[in-house]
Chain A
Amino acid sequence: MEPTRNSHATLVDLLDRVLDKGLIIHADLIISLAGVPLIGVNLRAALAGMETMIQYGIMEEWDKCTRTWESEHRKARRAAAISGEEVLLEIPGSYHYSQGIYTAWRTGRIYLTDKRLILYNPSFDEVLFETPLQGIKGLTLEEEKCFTEKARKSLCLLLDSGEIARLHTSDVPGLKEAIERRLLTLGLSWQQIPGLSLQDKKTASFLIGGEEVLCQGETWHLAISHSQGIAPSQNWQHGCLYLTNRRLCWWHDFERRLEFEVPLEHVVHSILVTNECKAAHTNNRKKVLDVIYQGGCGKEVVSFSGDHLMSWERELNRIVSSEGIATNRYPELADPQEEIGSDAVLQAPEQKRKLN
């Protein structure tokens, strides 16, 4: 390996030596004692980088220049991110990013161009979210509690991928209107989707394309764990039960994932039972909804507890029979007729969004 002394590439090496090192005169007659370190710092700052400069507090002018340059540059970069497109609306905003267990509102600038909707962060030159306008299949405004516990509006976009994107900005209705206006100009059709509840956010993460939620509700799920040598232990877990047009599934709030799912054609029957033993530790409720389904090793039972169990039972059995699956009654279990008196006033499970 040969050493280099190419003057440009090694300028910093040269400065390190000429300014910091070298022969020192110990004499009263030296004049530059005060001057040297100043010059050294000043010159070094010019070449070493911002940290040093700020550290010595001598680069205010430079800093100002740099900021001006940066803001010019930013404009140029913005132009690069959306070159060739006409910007119809530019507004600071944020996008609800969710990946695995990580969720966050990522902020940047929302650009509505003639072709796309983009959220761009100029500081990091990063496109946080983008969709072609053709990809927008539906829009809705949603009220939700943000982290400050204040209700605020955000804009939900249903994309053709089945994903739901959430955007927030100071003027959400204005943004929605601008997008709709552009969609109209482009001759694109979209849907006004009814407002979604907070709960619905979860569904976006597990719904398969074309799948829609028919019913959903807060429920407890009985988890039974088998460990060797010990009697099986049971544990009620909190979450949300979903009945979609394809599956029955239960979302575990704590783990933030689907803990249980079964295709509808495998659901055999659901029945509301009074089971002191099972129900023992679930909010003093004595009723349990047992769903019998075709599992990997024959018929299996999964138990849920919570509100509106009768409605769940009815809905499930309706689906099962309409699927043409034989419905078997289980006469040994409690007679559902008994329950009607007390449960009849309960509301049906919330009717969920249908994208029509």
Chain B
Amino acid sequence: MGLETEYVDDTKAGQGQKNKVKEEALYLYCVADGGEQASLGAIGISGHEVYTIPYNDICAVVHHCPAQPYQSDNQEVMKTWVIEHQGVVDMAWKKWGTVLPSSFDTMIKGESRDGAEQNMKDWLKREHENLRNKLDKVRDRAEYGVQIFWDPNVIAQNLMETNPEIRELNKEIKLKPKGLAYMYRQKLENLIKREMETSADTCFRVFYSRVKKHTGDIRVEKTKKAEQNLQMVLNLSCLVHKDKYAGLGEELSQINQMKGFSVRFTGPWPPYSFVGGS
């Protein structure tokens, strides 16, 4: 945690360490689909001047800063940085139509500013074919987050009414003496739990295929703890053509109307989930 303790706020971040050879760096926001040299103004992290390093028909959208990653213990500062990062990517996305967004704190260094710029250019040159392919793949497409939740209470209630085995057992309990009824209730709870798991698997498959047919590409993300009493059964990142997203929205509305289910639909995001790897 040495770095963290040294750079506690954004005024210190990015400043070189005194007893080290001073290096310069370029902070990369994204690679955009355009070969022009341009300046986007002081819209970068902490108000840095954002400009492009072009190579052939593509360019890197960058700002110049000391070769130190942005780190802070202050969460508000970090949050602001991330939102600023996203702001630049959005701007470039609007301007050039297609971008490959990079992760936060992606930087290329050099001995001087010129050196760093040269290194960035070399990288673009070396990776040109790969970057070009990726740009073509995500052209006219955006990423959407799709998260489907269910309310376990509603689902369990539904199982009680529709599952013959559970219904039968539930009926039997009422006829049992207290002690035995307790055992039966345990049995019922286990049965409901098992059926819920089976049901979740089924939901996953059904919803996955219903969503997938509207997408060009799809990533299954880890499900997370949900708010309130809901459980997340499906978490997807979808790459969707701009003409197709209405169809996806329609599909999701239908799922959203199902009793006990709800959908979170976010985006459009730059295609963060579809530009990684080589």
Contacts and interface: CB of A to CB of B under 8 A. Distances in A.
Contacts of A40: 104
Given A19-B103, A22-B101, A31 B272 contact: no
A255 B183 CA distance: 13
Interface in B76-111: 78-79, 82-83, 85-86, 100-110
Interface in A10-66: 10-11, 13-27, 29-32, 35-36, 38-40, 42-43, 46-47, 49, 51, 58
B253 interface: yes
A1 interface: yes
Nearest to B115: A29
A14 B80 CA distance: 12
A257 interface: yes
Contacts of B59: none
A39 B266 contact: no
A11 B25 CA distance: 28
Contact of A255 (B177, B250, B277): B177
Contacts of B225: 49, 51
Contacts of A101: 178-179, 182
Contact of A4 (B108, B177, B266, B275): B266
B67 interface: yes
Contact of A36 (B79, B104, B245): B104
A5 B269 contact: yes
A156 B158 CA distance: 44
B123 to A, nearest CB: 5
B19 interface: no
A173 B144 CA distance: 66
B73 interface: yes
A2 interface: yes
B70 interface: yes
A36 B123 contact: no
Given A22-B103, A32-B105, A100-B182, A43 B82 contact: yes
A3 interface: yes
B82 A25 contact: no
B110 A32 contact: no
Interface in B17-61: 23, 25, 28, 30-31
A281 interface: no
A25 B86 contact: no
Which among B82, B102, B123, B127 has the greatest number of chain A C-beta atoms within 10 A? B82
A10 B221 CA distance: 16
B170 interface: no
A7 interface: yes
Interface string A78-103: 00000000000000000000001100
A195 to B, nearest CB: 29
A212 B3 CA distance: 76
A32 B266 contact: no
B215 interface: no
A181 interface: no
B82 A20 contact: no
Contact of B276 (A14, A21, A39, A46): A21
B11 interface: no
B228 interface: no
Range, interface on chain B: 35 or more
Contacts of B277: 24
B82 A36 contact: no
Contacts of B69: 31-32, 35-36, 39
A265 B48 CA distance: 96
A16 B102 CA distance: 13
Given A31-B108, A255-B178, A2 B249 contact: yes
Contacts of B250: 1
A13 B102 CA distance: 16
B256 interface: yes
Contact of A39 (B30, B70, B182, B272): B70
Given A18-B82, A18-B85, A255-B177, A32 B249 contact: no
Which among A24, A25, A26, A256 has the greatest number of chain B C-beta atoms within 10 A? A25
Nearest to A17: B272
A210 B23 CA distance: 90
Contacts of B71: 35, 38-39, 42
22 contacts: A1-B252, A4-B266, A13-B266, A17-B269, A18-B85, A21-B272, A22-B101, A22-B103, A23-B276, A25-B102, A25-B108, A26-B278, A31-B69, A31-B109, A32-B105, A35-B3, A35-B71, A38-B3, A39-B69, A39-B70, A42-B71, A42-B73
Interface of B: 1, 3-4, 23, 25, 28, 30-31, 67-71, 73, 75, 78-79, 82-83, 85-86, 100-110, 119, 123, 127, 143-145, 177-179, 182, 221, 225, 237, 245, 249-250, 252-253, 256, 263, 265-269, 272-273, 275-278
Given A18-B86, A21-B103, A29-B108, 19 more contacts: A1-B265, A4-B265, A14-B86, A17-B143, A18-B101, A22-B104, A22-B106, A23-B28, A23-B101, A24-B277, A29-B123, A30-B106, A31-B69, A35-B71, A36-B69, A38-B1, A42-B4, A255-B177, A256-B178
